[in-house]
């Protein structure tokens, strides 16, 4: 009688095998990684980034460690999250719109929100950026476009942090607002023209492809690093699903999108922020979460662990 072999012999590199399984050594604090990558970032290379809350953490560490991080509009409060005053950008639709208004055309039917009580002018497409008048808003936005263009064209490396798949979409022109928030929403501004929905794999992948096409048209040598934000959903607008399941769906969708996108382009790289924060931390019996009311954010130790590996992956031989 033939014998069935449960574990046939294959030749794997250590980073291809689950750490600690059988005789594959588990090294606490060292995420398994193919050390043969030839993509190296040195401290002279201009780096830009945009994305969700975790993009702000990347920015802080790169600046602190002396990397050539691009900072435009440093006078603007919204620039603390990214290389220009893009503010926090949670979804790929909002990211795509940034590249469109920077280099091409983005003319939504509703350009500004006017808060019903205070009269403050709010930008629906950047998170809670406020002005006293439309003329002030338009003047600042014109300057912002120039700074946005300069940051993207200057970048040798562009890091995009993908956050979530839930969006609020204009029913008429399909533009996507950042979030129902700020004085316009709090003062009872009408949201009837917008519909909430969960975006899906094909359209998120399409958004990244459009971003790639624009970047390559105006900065052909720029390389992209895609990562998934390890910051979990604080709340979900979905009424058919709990927040933990909605978070899992959101991150899983974007992870699959990032994988396909990186596989399509030899100058696009995936960095496993989300995996380091969740799976790898769990293997070391550590939590990635903050304590207190913002426990959906990742703690400082996890930020440092992620960025330690970022430098290990991309800055070989150069101490962070």
Nearest to 58 by CA among 146, 132, 163: 163
Whether residue 317 has pLDDT greater than 60? no
Q: What is the pTM of this model?
A: 0.94
Task: Decide if 55 is inside a domain.
Answer: yes
Predicted local distance difference test score (pLDDT) of residue 6:
66
- Residue 105 vs residues 96, 137, 214: alpha-carbon distances, Å: 11, 18, 12
Whether residue 291 has pLDDT greater than 80? yes
- Residue 306 vs residues 22, 54, 309: alpha-carbon distances, Å: 26, 11, 5
Helix residue ranges, H only, the chain: 53-64, 92-103, 134-154, 182-186, 201-218, 243-264, 273-275, 281-283, 300-314
Least trusted range by pLDDT, from 14-23, 80-89, 141-150: 14-23
Q: Which domain holds residue 235?
A: 32-107+139-177+198-314
Predicted local distance difference test score (pLDDT) of residue 188:
96
Whether residue 2 has pLDDT greater than 90? no
Whether residue 318 has pLDDT greater than 60? no
pLDDT tens for 47-67 read 999 998 889 999 999 999 999
Token pair of 16, please? Answer: 């291809």
Euclidean distance between CA atoms 185 and 66, whole angstroms: 40
Q: Is 73 left (phi over 0), alpha (psi -120 to 50) or beta?
A: left
Backbone torsions φ then ψ of 161, nearest 5 degrees: -105, 115
Of these ranges, 12-26, 102-116, 287-301, the one predicted with the greatest mean pLDDT is: 102-116
Helix (H, G, I), strand (E, B), or coil: what is residue 172? coil
Average pLDDT estimate for 3-17: 79
The domain total for the chain is 1
Task: Decide if 74 is inside a domain.
Answer: yes
Of the two residues 25 and 122, the one the predictor is more confident about is 122
Categorize the per-residue pLDDT at 290 as very low, low, confident or very high, splitting at 50, 70 and 90.
Answer: confident
Task: Decide if 11 is inside a domain.
Answer: no
Predicted local distance difference test score (pLDDT) of residue 23:
87
Predicted local distance difference test score (pLDDT) of residue 75:
93
Nearest to 308 by CA among 281, 282, 269, 287: 281
Task: Decide if 235 is inside a domain.
Answer: yes
Average pLDDT estimate for 150-172: 97
Predicted local distance difference test score (pLDDT) of residue 297:
87
Task: Decide if 262 is inside a domain.
Answer: yes
Token pair of 188, please? Answer: 């009872």
Whether residue 320 has pLDDT greater than 50? no
Predicted local distance difference test score (pLDDT) of residue 91:
96
Place of tokens 């699903």: 241
Whether residue 35 has pLDDT greater than 90? no
Categorize the per-residue pLDDT at 3 as very low, low, confident or very high, splitting at 50, 70 and 90.
Answer: low
156: CATH:
3.40.50.1110
Predicted local distance difference test score (pLDDT) of residue 244:
96
pLDDT tens for 212-265 read 999 999 999 999 999 999 999 999 999 999 999 999 999 999 999 999 999 999
Token pair of 110, please? Answer: 């509703």
Euclidean distance between CA atoms 253 and 255, whole angstroms: 5
Mean of the per-residue pLDDT values for the chain? 93
Average pLDDT estimate for 14-19: 92
Token pair of 6, please? Answer: 């449960």
Task: Decide if 73 is inside a domain.
Answer: yes
Task: Decide if 192 is inside a domain.
Answer: no
What b/e sequence results for 229-248 when a residue is b if at least 16 CB atoms lie within 10 Å of its CB, and e otherwise? bbbbbeebebeeeeeeebbe
Least trusted range by pLDDT, from 2-16, 22-36, 149-163: 2-16
Average pLDDT estimate for 112-121: 97
Task: Decide if 126 is inside a domain.
Answer: no
Whether residue 272 has pLDDT greater than 50? yes
């Amino acid at each position: 009688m033939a014998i069935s072999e449960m574990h046939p012999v294959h030749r794997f590199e250590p980073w291809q095998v689950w750490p600690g399984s059988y005789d594959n050594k588990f090294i606490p604090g060292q995420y398994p990684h193919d050390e043969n990558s030839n993509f190296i970032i040195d401290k002279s290379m201009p780096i830009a980034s945009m994305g969700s809350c975790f993009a702000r953490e990347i920015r802080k560490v790169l600046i602190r460690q002396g990397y050539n991080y691009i900072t435009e509009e440093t006078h603007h409060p919204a620039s603390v999250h990214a290389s220009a005053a893009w503010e926090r950008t949670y979804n790929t639709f909002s990211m795509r719109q940034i590249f469109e208004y920077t280099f091409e055309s983005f003319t939504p039917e509703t350009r500004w929100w006017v808060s019903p009580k205070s009269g403050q002018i709010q930008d629906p497409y950047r998170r809670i950026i406020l002005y006293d008048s439309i003329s002030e808003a338009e003047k600042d936005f014109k300057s912002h476009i120039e700074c946005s263009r300069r940051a993207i064209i200057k970048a040798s490396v562009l890091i995009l942090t993908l956050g979530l798949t839930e969006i609020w979409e204009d029913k008429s022109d399909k533009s996507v607002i950042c979030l129902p928030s700020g004085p316009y929403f709090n003062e009872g501004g009408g949201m009837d023209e917008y519909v909430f929905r969960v975006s899906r794999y094909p359209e998120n992948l399409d958004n990244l492809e459009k971003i790639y096409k624009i970047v390559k048209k105006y900065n052909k040598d720029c390389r992209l690093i895609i990562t998934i934000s390890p910051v979990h959903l604080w709340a979900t607008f979905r009424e058919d699903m709990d927040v933990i399941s909605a978070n899992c769906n959101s991150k899983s969708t974007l992870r699959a999108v990032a994988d396909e996108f990186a596989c399509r382009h030899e100058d696009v790289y995936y960095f496993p922020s989300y995996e380091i924060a969740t799976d790898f931390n769990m293997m070391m019996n550590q939590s990635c979460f903050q304590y207190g009311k913002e426990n959906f954010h990742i703690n400082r130790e996890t930020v440092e662990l992620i960025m330690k590996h970022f430098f290990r992956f991309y800055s070989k031989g150069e101490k962070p």
